[in-house]
Amino acid sequence: MTKAFESEWIDQAIFALQRSGYRIDGAQFPTGRPDRVTVPVLTRTGRAAVAKCYPSDRGALAFANMQALWRSSFGERRQPPGLPQPIDYLPETGTLIMERLSGRPLAELEAADAISIAEAVKLVAALHDCEARPTKKRDRRRIVREIKRNLATSAEVAPEYAGVLGAVMEALEASDDEDPEIVPCHGDFSPRNVLIGADRVALIDWDRLEWADPARDVTYFGTWCWVWALRRKTRPDWSVLQQVVESYRGLRRITLTEARLGFHVAAGLMRIAHGMITFWPSDVHLVPQLAAEALRHLA
């Protein structure tokens, strides 16, 4: 997305919000994605809300997912609800309006403390046990197919990494197996999507809600933290993953074998590598390290 197009798109989204009776209530929030615009607004009744703009139909998908979750045991019947209340959707600009919660994403805090991580794990375990029925499914075979498609795209942008990523792809295909369990999963469970408030913790960013192995959510949180440390030039370790796995086992009593965890860690690393190539070229030099770590977890 070019700067000129992004500016025009933001102007159109703000105009659509104002035309629909929403008032802009400050500058847009910072976001780690170039294809997301998030603006604080007030509803017609003066309620504090957030407008999040998507450049495609993912906004409609996120809104539908949030509505389904809000009606489930994870939403309005839970005290407090595990997600912000969905309010409205403006299809002409792909703008989702939701309840504005006080707090900051866990990724913006100085450190992911043990208490905050434990609260986040409680939330994702409650999500996995809720009766919501996602419209999409990502079992192992679909995950492998998605990674293969991403690899083809990555090879066009950064062909110098095709070899190291291809080796991981082969190992993932060799370790492909049946999922022992399929549950409603967040699909992007990481510190950037855990909102920490003074009296409430909630999950945000719902465009990837899916049926999947719960190990996909559990491992992605720890994988994201490992890569985040690498990006910040600090020594990465897997202590957060270990904490998340132990907390989760205590809540749902499921068997998370090393092979099961290893597959999803490697898949998560490949997904992040593709994101680096696509959105964060300043980090693309880290791709070989991610590939080597993925192979280590698959070994």
Model pLDDT for residues 30-49, shown as the tens digit of each residue? 665 555 788 899 999 999 99
Q: State the pLDDT at residue 199.
A: 87
For 136, the token pair is: 């999409």
Strand residues in 28-181 grouped as ranges (E): 37-42, 48-53, 86-90, 95-99, 104-105
Amino acid at the residue 189: F
Q: Is the dihedral of CA 224, 225, 227, 232 positive or negative?
A: positive
Segment 217-229 shows an average pLDDT of 97
Domains identified in the chain and CATH numbers:
3-100 (3.30.200.20), 105-298 (3.90.1200.10)
| Cut 0.75: pTM above it | yes
Segment 273-286 shows an average pLDDT of 95
Q: What is the pLDDT of residues 57-109, one digit of tens each?
A: 899 999 999 999 999 999 999 999 999 999 999 999 999 999 999 999 999 88
